[in-house]
């Protein structure tokens, strides 16, 4: 009894209870979505809801197992765990493709997706590495190693290809930024290779988030213009291909910025301003060129999804069918919804919304419970995120804090992109809704992330580093 009390004495019960509420709500939604009237038994393992019960049981067992392990084990074995996930990511590339992707390892009648577990391995190793650094004395090597920990699994995942999980891994950039690990050493190294230029510091690190948004904006503009042409009414016959129009726009923008900054600056600052403008143009042009090159190299269905999302073309009954029907299902819920098991659009039986039990699980929930239900659901997720942030900030160990922020960013990415797909705000790239979507790999992965966090937090007073 005392041992049990010791295990749970510092357990964060609000977070654990929220986790269990999500499991119950998610299981109920999978059941109502996949319900076969001829097989109403929840424990009918020939049905998807029966299999989901199995996955829930396995996830809870794994959660209990990782919670019983001493928290210091996760720091000590972060490297082997990370390497193990990389090995699985390599092995899966030699497996037969399923739905056009080599992302699954078949074990009996079940499939395991190694990319889901790679998130946990990467979070643990990144937490261990960053916690060993002196951020005030970070150098080029520390920046490169931290990013390599993130980029290596991203490359392997992109080879599958799995665009959704690839995007989720960029969440670690914000974790590194939170801990003060910036790209300043790398930028300084590159800039100072220019003859006659010597910078002692840059502002890249302190303006990381605005720069990220600027890069995203540049990427979107490049995609919008790349497949179009630019014509000038005052110069008939002058037609510029879209991509070159992007480069031309960058030249004009940088020239205007150069003239303005040169006008308001002193003579001593003008040479530095010139260097910064040239670097900004080269980097922007490189990013635009890379985006255009990568876009041209995508598969047709991937190009179609991006073009449909950006509004470059319409195909409501073809390639854009999923997103179109998903928005219809969400809207059909109205204010209070149609009631449990009364969804008519987003069910497997109706088949109006493909993958309604996995990537589009938000649709049947929204149709059944309406705006009020979805508002409560998102509110619960926000509570979970804020609770994890609170847990992160009360840690005495940097390892614990970095891991906690990794968990909250992974979950936030999944929520934002998944709901964005369902309401037309994000391209369809295949990302499950945490603790809701049907599937064993994602459920086990999210559960392991959560229980490792709970364990680290429960022993926070015993770990100082």
10-residue averages of pLDDT along the chain (465 residues): 57 93 93 85 85 92 90 91 94 82 74 89 94 77 88 91 87 87 68 61 63 77 68 50 70 81 72 76 82 74 71 61 78 86 76 78 90 93 95 90 95 92 80 89 93 89 58
pLDDT at 465: 55
Residues 202-259: pLDDT tens digits? 656 666 667 777 777 777 777 777 666 555 444 455 555 566 767 777 788 888 887 8
Supply 42's token pair: 């929840």
Residue 227: partners with Cβ closer than 8 Å, 6 or more residues away: 242, 307, 312
What pLDDT score does 389 carry? 94
Please report the pLDDT score of residue 426 as a whole number: 77
Render pLDDT for 50-104 as a digit per residue (tens, 0 to 9): 889 999 999 999 999 988 888 889 999 999 999 999 999 999 988 887 777 788 8
How far is the C-alpha of 40 from the C-alpha of 141, rounded, in Å? Answer: 58
How much is the pTM? Answer: 0.83
User: Residue 231: which H helix or E strand, with range?
Assistant: strand 229-231
Give the model confidence (pLDDT) of 98-124 as tens digits.
777 788 887 666 678 899 999 999 999
What pLDDT does 462 receive?
62
Q: What is the mean pLDDT of the chain?
A: 81
Exposure string of 37-74, with b = 16+ CB inside 10 Å and e = fewer, is eeeeeeeeeebbbbbbbebbeebbebbeebbeeebeeb
Instruction: Give SS3 for 105.
Output: strand
Distance CA 437, CA 452 (A): 21
**Per-residue confidence (pLDDT) for residue 319, from 0 to 100:** 60
Q: What is the pLDDT of residue 232?
A: 47
- Give the largest CA-CA distance in the chain: 86
Distance separating alpha carbons of residues 370 and 73, to the nearest angstrom: 44
- DSSP letters along 41-76, please? -TT-TTSHHHHHHHHHHHHHHHHHHHHHS-THHHHH
Given a contact cutoff of 8 angstroms between Cβ atoms, the answer to whether 186 and 143 are in contact is yes
């Amino acid at each position: 009894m005392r041992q049990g009390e010791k295990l749970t004495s510092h357990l964060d019960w609000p977070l654990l209870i929220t986790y269990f509420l999500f499991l119950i709500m998610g299981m109920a939604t999978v059941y109502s979505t996949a319900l076969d009237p001829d097989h109403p038994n929840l424990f009918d393992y020939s049905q998807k809801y029966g299999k989901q019960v199995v996955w829930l049981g396995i996830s809870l067992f794994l959660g209990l197992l990782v919670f019983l392990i001493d928290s210091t084990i996760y720091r000590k074995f972060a490297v082997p765990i990370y390497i193990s996930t990389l090995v699985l990511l390599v092995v899966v590339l030699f497996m037969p493709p399923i739905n056009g992707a080599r992302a699954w390892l078949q074990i009996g009648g079940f499939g395991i997706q190694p990319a889901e577990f790679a998130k946990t391995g990467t979070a643990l190793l990144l937490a261990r590495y960053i916690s060993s650094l002196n951020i005030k004395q970070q150098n080029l090597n520390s920046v490169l190693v931290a990013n390599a920990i993130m980029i290596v699994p991203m490359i392997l995942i992109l080879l599958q290809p799995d665009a959704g999980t690839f995007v989720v891994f960029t969440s670690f950039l914000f974790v590194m930024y939170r801990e003060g690990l910036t790209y300043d050493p790398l930028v300084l190294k590159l800039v100072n290779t220019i003859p006659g230029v010597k910078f002692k510091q840059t502002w890249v690190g302190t303006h990381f988030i605005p720069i990220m948004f600027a890069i995203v904006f540049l990427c979107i503009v490049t995609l919008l213009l790349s497949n179009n042409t630019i014509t000038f009414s005052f110069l008939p016959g002058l037609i510029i291909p879209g991509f070159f129009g992007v480069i031309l726009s960058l030249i004009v923008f940088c020239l205007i910025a150069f003239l303005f900054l040169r006008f308001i600056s002193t003579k001593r600052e003008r040479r530095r301003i010139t260097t910064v403008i040239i670097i900004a143009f080269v980097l922007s042009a490189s990013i635009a060129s890379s985006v255009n090159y990568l876009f041209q190299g995508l598969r047709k269905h991937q190009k179609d999804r991006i073009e449909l999302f950006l509004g470059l073309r319409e195909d409501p009954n073809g390639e854009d069918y999923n997103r179109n029907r998903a928005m219809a299902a969400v809207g059909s819920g109205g204010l209070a919804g149609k009631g449990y098991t009364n969804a008519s659009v987003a069910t497997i039986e109706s088949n109006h919304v493909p993958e309604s039990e996995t990537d589009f699980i938000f649709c049947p929930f929204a149709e059944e419970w309406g705006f009020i239900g979805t508002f409560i659901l998102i509110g619960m997720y926000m509570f979970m995120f804020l609770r994890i942030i609170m847990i992160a900030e009360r840690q005495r160990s940097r390892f614990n804090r970095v891991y906690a922020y990794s968990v909250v960013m992974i979950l936030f990415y999944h929520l934002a992109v998944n709901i964005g797909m369902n309401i037309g705000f994000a391209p369809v790239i295949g990302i499950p809704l945490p603790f809701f979507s049907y599937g064993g790999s994602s459920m086990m992965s999210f559960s392991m992330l959560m229980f490792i966090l709970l364990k680290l937090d429960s022993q926070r007073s015993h770990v100082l580093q």
